[in-house]
Every structure is written in C-alpha cells, then in structure tokens.
Structure 1
C-alpha cells in the first residue's frame, strides 16, 4: 500500500501544446505538479537506494516535455504519469499540468491524471 508521498511542485516548462496554429508554432509555459506515492521503505531505512530519485524523474519529464508535441493537456499529463510509473518504487502517480493564461480571466487551466500501476492501460505502459 502506497502511503508516503514525494512532491515535485511548480515545475515550469515550455511545450508545444494546443490545437491552434499559433500554439503549434510557439512553445508555451506549462506548470507541472506531481505527487508520487511510494511505500515506507525509504523512511524506515534512511537509505537513498530505497527512495525514488526525484531529480532523475524531473530530468526525464523535462526531456519529454521539451522534445514532444501534444494537442491536449490531458495527453501530456498522461504521458508524464506513465513516465513516473516506470519507476517500480512508484505505486501511484498524480500529475497536474496547467496552461497559464489559456483562458481569459483565469490564472490557468489544468488537468489532473491520477493512476496506479494497476489501472487499465498504466500497467502495459510501464
């Protein structure tokens, strides 16, 4: 049972994302927030080998976002989620991706994708 959480907050990246012509030409800001659910092994052992390397995961997310193109925020959030679940120590991942300024009068518009490694589709991806 996943009961410990690792948070990566407000990871600001630039992405080709959207359906409009301008969105397909120019990178836009996206803000990524991630919660990774793990067991309590690392907390009990105090051993770096037992924990999720959040620096490595952040670098992988940066690479994915900067080298890919997406039409929908939902798809980007899902792909980041699958990337997180590729680490066998991650039992569940909750990923929120926001597009600041995408909607007039709103600070941002976002989507949250919450999956466990046993959810339909997630197990096959990892």
Structure 2
C-alpha cells in the first residue's frame, strides 16, 4: 500500500469539555497518513489517476472548523470517517493534537487508525441495538 501524508494541518475550532474551552475557538493540529494506491499515477503522471487529497483536505477543514467536539477522540474519529467513507481512503491514521491543553506539555492528542470496516461495523451494531 502507498501512503499520502498531510502533516501539521493547523485549524481552529470549538473543542473541549469545560465551559471556558467552549466559549471560543482553540487551535488543533492534525496529521494524516492515508492509504492509497498510487501505482497508476506513478506510471501515468496524470492527476486524474491520483487520490484527490486536495478535495479531502478541504472537506476536513470545513468539518473541523464548523465542529464543536468535546474530545480529540471524537474529532479524530469524525475525520477518519470522512476520509474512508466520503473520500474512499482504504486506510487512515489520524493524529489530532490540542496545543496548550495540559500544563507543562506542548500538546495533548490522540492517534487512531481506521478502515471502512470500522465504520460499517459500528453502523451495523447501531442498527442491531435499535432493533432489540
């Protein structure tokens, strides 16, 4: 598998659990590693054969800047879902860091890995739970 990397995407959003965190926007830094098949583009040198990271990144920016997640875990999961479900990534690693969230630390964050199966499973579990 080939990987596309997008590092240090710096965005501002509402994130946090405490009232003072939710009154304004905070900085978040997102790193992405996206599993894709780059063989066709490597041979053809044609943009049409690439995984469109520009469109995917714009969708991430729109989502994150309009979001109001309470946790970095929820934000990372939402970004992963967007990439694998809406943009057909085979696999993603998403790192979300919140600078200044913890005294004496530069950042606090999480790193997750997801595939489409992770989201299909959760949708199936949700449907099963509502049928019981």
Distance (Å, rounded) in 2 between the aligned partners of 1:16 and 1:110: 15
Counting only pairs closer than 5 Å after superposition, residues 96-111 of structure 1 correspond to structure 2 as: 96-111=95-110
Which stretch shows the higher mean deviation, 97-106 or 32-41?
A: 32-41
Deviation per CA, 1:86-124: give whole Å up to 9, x if none: 222x210111000001111111001111011223x2577
Larger radius of gyration: 2
Query: Taking structure 2 as the reference length, what is the TM-score of the superposition?
Result: 0.85
Q: Which residue of 2 aligns with 1:41?
A: 40
Q: Residue 80 of structure 2: SS of its match in structure 1?
A: helix
Deviation per CA, 1:9-62: give whole Å up to 9, x if none: 100000100000111111000000001111233223322112111111111111
Query: Taking structure 1 as the reference length, what is the TM-score of the superposition?
Result: 0.89
RMSD: 1.6
In structure 2, stretches of 5+ residues that fail to align are 124-132
Q: Which has the higher helix share?
A: 2
In structure 1, stretches of 5+ residues that fail to align are none
Distance (Å, rounded) in 1 between the aligned partners of 2:61 and 2:81: 14
> How many equivalent pairs are there?
121
Distance (Å, rounded) in 1 between the aligned partners of 2:27 and 2:120: 27
